[in-house]
């Protein structure tokens, strides 16, 4: 990119939990997908980490919004403000002012036309002149370093905040895919529900998220188990403070249903895979990406259950973002699977 080039290029992984922006091959923004708005005027107060710190702690004049639910835009206006705020953060960090912005944005593979248009419109309103879309499993495959144009089958399971995307990729296209709304957010809700039912203690979204990160597990037997996580919260009956230790086995039991749904989706995708590609997948294994790939024991559980080796991507949280960046650099090469 020359100094006098009028087109700036950014790659955006627009996630339910985090939004990541890549500029010049570097991750320049990695912020929670949250905005804080003035409740009366709708003006943007904060975006990203600053807004997340306000989440659940606001008074009546400020409301915090997560613009994406289940991988798609739920609040159009908030999404536009969020993308605009984050793009502004990039431009101030990189010291550029650009009249024209080229963007590649990752979207769930199960997105409807309306959902795709919502992402495109939000991106264009936030300053994108040239907006391309890429399906998240395809981006994850590029980010992991798989040759997506090769005539062989590769399977990706991308477990994000709002959706789990399962796709079989060959010859630069998605052969078959399944996108389910059971992912990180659902696991967080399971934990909140469990804490309320089993311990009579009320925990917020952020605390449930911390329980998941600290003691989340897909297996009841782990080789190096994490120590119990101590939760502080109000007793629902008496409103007096409580201290509850939570073990990984307990979390494993309470997220069991959701993990089984992801397992079932993987199996049903494999069922619809043509035999030649199935053979490739058995040989290459299946790649796990997204924040859900970090759940302790998940790869082992799926490997044991399905009988195919599951590998965790090197940097699962950033696989989709990195792949979106790869697509941005090679738009002409990958043009056939980028949507405009």
**pLDDT at residue 71 in the model:** 85
Tell me which residue of 319, 294, 299, 282 sits closest to 141, measured CA to CA: 319
Q: Taking the domain 7-139+320-337, which CATH number applies? A: 3.30.420.40
Q: Where are the domains of the chain?
A: 7-139+320-337, 147-182+259-315, 184-254
**pLDDT at residue 91 in the model:** 82
132 Cβ partners below 8 Å, 6+ apart?
A: 102, 103, 104, 105, 327, 328, 331, 338, 339, 340
Q: How far is CA 120 from CA 8, 88, 99, 330, 339, in A?
A: 17, 18, 18, 20, 10
For the chain of 340 residues, list the mean pLDDT of each consecutive stretch of 10: 65 94 93 95 95 90 93 91 91 71 91 91 90 96 96 97 96 95 96 97 94 97 96 94 96 98 97 97 97 97 97 96 95 88
State the pairing for strand pair 310-312/286-289.
Answer: parallel
Can you tell me the distance from the alpha carbon of 148 to that of 154, in angstroms, rounded to the nearest whole number? 8
Q: How far is CA 315 from CA 161, 287, 291, 312, in A?
A: 16, 12, 9, 8
**pLDDT at residue 70 in the model:** 85
- Could you check whether 7-139+320-337 and 184-254 share the same CATH topology? no
**pLDDT at residue 1 in the model:** 43
Q: How far is CA 228 from CA 104, 203, 207, 257, in A?
A: 41, 16, 14, 22
- Indicate the fold that domain 147-182+259-315 takes in CATH: Nucleotidyltransferase; domain 5 (3.30.420)
- Indicate the fold that domain 184-254 takes in CATH: Actin; Chain A, domain 4 (3.90.640)
**pLDDT at residue 146 in the model:** 96
Query: Crossing angle, helix 113-125 and helix 76-94, to 10 degrees?
Result: 40
Quote the pTM value.
Answer: 0.92
In the chain the first and final C-alpha atoms are separated, in Å, by 23
**pLDDT at residue 6 in the model:** 65
Can you tell me the distance from the alpha carbon of 212 to that of 33, in angstroms, rounded to the nearest whole number? 18
Are 261 and 187 in contact by the 8 Å Cβ rule? The answer is no
pLDDT tens column, 36-50: 999 999 999 999 999
């Amino acid at each position: 990119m020359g100094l006098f080039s009028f087109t700036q290029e950014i790659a955006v992984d627009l996630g339910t939990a985090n939004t990541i922006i890549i500029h010049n091959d570097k991750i320049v923004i990695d912020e929670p997908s949250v905005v804080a708005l003035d409740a009366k005027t709708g003006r943007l107060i904060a975006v990203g980490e600053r807004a997340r710190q306000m989440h659940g702690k606001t008074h009546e004049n400020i409301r915090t919004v997560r613009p994406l639910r289940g991988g798609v835009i739920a609040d159009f206006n908030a999404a536009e403000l969020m993308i605009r705020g984050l793009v502004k953060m990039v431009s101030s960090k990189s010291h550029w002012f650009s009249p024209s912005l080229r963007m590649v944005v990752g979207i769930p593979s199960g997105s409807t036309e309306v959902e795709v248009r919502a992402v495109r419109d939000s991106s264009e309103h936030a300053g994108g002149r040239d907006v391309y879309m890429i399906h998240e499993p395809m981006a994850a495959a590029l980010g992991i370093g798989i040759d997506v144009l090769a005539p062989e089958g590769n399977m990706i399971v991308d477990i994000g905040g709002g959706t789990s995307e399962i796709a079989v990729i060959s010859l630069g296209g998605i052969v078959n895919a399944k996108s389910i709304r059971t992912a990180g957010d659902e696991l967080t809700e399971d934990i909140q529900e469990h804490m309320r039912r089993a311990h009579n203690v009320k925990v917020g979204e952020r605390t449930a998220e911390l329980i998941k990160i600290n003691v989340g597990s897909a297996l009841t037997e782990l080789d190096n188990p994490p120590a119990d996580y101590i939760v502080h919260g109000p007793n629902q009956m008496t409103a007096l403070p409580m201290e509850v230790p939570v073990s990984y086995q307990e979390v494993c039991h309470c997220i069991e249903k959701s993990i089984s749904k992801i397992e079932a989706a993987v199996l049903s995708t494999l069922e619809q895979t043509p035999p030649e590609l199935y053979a490739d997948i058995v040989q290459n294994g299946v790649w796990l990406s997204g924040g859900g790939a970090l759940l302790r024991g998940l790869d082992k559980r799926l490997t044991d259950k399905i009988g195919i080796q599951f590998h965790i991507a090197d940097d699962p949280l950033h696989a989709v973002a990195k792949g979106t960046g790869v697509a941005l650099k090679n738009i002409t090469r990958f043009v056939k699977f980028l949507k405009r």
